[in-house]
Amino acid sequence: MKYFVLILFVLTSPLLAYADSNVTPGQWASETTGGNLAYQLLKPPTAQNPSLPLVIYLENLPVERIGQESNESIIGSLLKAGDLVMVLDYAKNPAAKVPTLDSDTLKLRSDLFAKKLLADQAIDLSHVFILAEGCQLKRDVSFCVDGKRNLGMDVIYPSHPKRAVGTIIEFSCDNKDRMGMYSLVFCTDTTIDTAGAAGFAVAMADHPVAAPYKGFDPLPECGYKLKAAIRTLRSLQEEMGVNGKIGVVGFSRGSGMALLLAAINDREEFENEGAWIGSGSAPGVDSSVQAAVVMSGRFDYLHLIPADKMIPRYNKMWGSITNHEEVWRKQSAITYVTTNLPPLFLTINVSEGADARHHMEVLRQRLDELHLSYQYEPETEPRGHKMPVDKVILENIRKYLDQRLN
């Protein structure tokens, strides 16, 4: 009987199940828990590239596990796909919940970027994903073809969920690499990394505009691409087991995209399903969003502050506002804001630039004029052009998304 028990352990132990994957133990200093967390680094049996995608898998979190696929099955599929997998054990520490967990996901990315973590590993920093346990990764989902550019998204979702959940989509601030590490760390972006632990599926999508970004989001083209992304994401509803409700989050060059998506829910002129978009756009699928978190950005080109440094560039692109006012108007996301708008969540750092703070005030005035509902919570700790890390604001964003999507 003793021998039988030993054999059973060998066959089911997570570490020994991946022994051929070259398992390396280690410890990492957690800001959330205030102590060191044990991790196991698992290398795939065969490496396809000199630098590997990295998946950080957060196990034993003190939150409800919605995805019911086993850790062994999920990790095995990631290794089979050729990913390096870091299994980080939170040992049910009660502090490791959203929004306090956001501190750790941001620190994980910061430490990787600064080579304070896994410095001896060849990691593809454009493909680092953080998954709460029970979540799966679906990469490179194409939603639009624009010439030679194939726009895609990476989706993280509870696998075999015990209940259907809502989905959050973010349009990247990096026009070249949607999961670019520098952009995520610089912007203090934790949306994509903690959504799974907060009870959502989440997608990071390519920005509609190709690199290099010059500060222009041409309409209606961007609207077509945004709608294609939503249709494609919603078309995965049955496969992922989500509930079909989608909320968009946007910061900086993504904030105007978030506002525009919310504003054009019922605008037929943006439902272009032409052949140039490609088959990935899921024609005929609902393209509406049910929530939008709009952060610092540009929304209205007709009402700029005189000191706005972008005015000469706009003049060169669109002609003077005096002679081409309608062109400037059509490029403004705020132009499309009507009474058919879901309630918004607005936030901005109080030390943002004068132009960004002005745009937020113009947006709020427009919403007030139309008697539209919104929640406004500015971050008061001066941090400049950053996404919020204030725990109260992060918690209230999650509550807002939970109410709208779940």
Q: What is the CATH number of the domain that holds 72?
A: 3.40.50.1820
Asked whether residue 326 is domain-assigned, the answer is yes
Cβ contacts of 241 within 8 Å, gap of 6 or more: 157, 158, 160, 161, 164
Q: Is there a domain that residue 43 lies in?
A: yes
Which residues contact residue 165 at a Cβ distance below 8 angstroms, ignoring those fewer than 6 apart? 66, 158, 199, 200, 201, 242, 243, 405, 406
Find where tokens 């967990």 sit.
101
Q: How far apart are CA 386 and CA 185, in angstroms?
A: 10
- Do 222 and 320 fall within a single domain? yes
| Burial zone of 113 (CB within 10 Å; 0-12 exposed, 13-18 middle, 19+ buried) | middle
Phi, then psi, of 129 in degrees rounded to 5:
-125, 140
Flag whether 9 is in a domain.
no
Q: What angle do CA 227, 334, 375 make, to 5 degrees?
A: 90
Q: In whole angstroms, what is the distance from residue 61 CA to residue 66 CA?
A: 12
Beta bridge partners of 161: 67
Question: Which residue, of 100, 129, 158, is where some domain finishes?
Answer: 129
Spell out the per-residue pLDDT of the chain, length 406, in tens. 444 333 333 333 444 455 555 899 999 999 999 999 999 999 998 766 789 999 999 999 999 999 999 999 999 999 999 999 999 999 999 999 999 999 999 999 999 999 999 999 999 999 999 999 999 999 999 999 888 899 999 999 999 999 999 999 999 999 999 999 999 999 999 999 999 999 999 999 999 999 999 999 999 899 999 999 999 999 999 999 999 999 999 999 999 999 999 999 988 888 866 544 544 567 789 999 999 999 999 999 999 999 999 999 999 999 999 999 999 999 999 999 999 899 999 999 999 999 999 999 999 999 999 999 999 999 999 999 999 999 999 999 999 999 999 9
Q: Which of 103, 129, 155 is the last residue before a domain boundary?
A: 129
pLDDT number for residue 18: 57
319 and 275 Cβ atoms separated by less than 8 Å? no
Task: State how many domains the chain has.
Answer: 2
Residue 106 structural domain: 14-129
Question: How high is the pLDDT of residue 282?
Answer: 76
Closest CA to 383 of 115, 165, 187: 187
On whether both 125 and 273 belong to a single domain, the answer is no
**The model's pTM:** 0.93
Residue 280 has a pLDDT of: 55
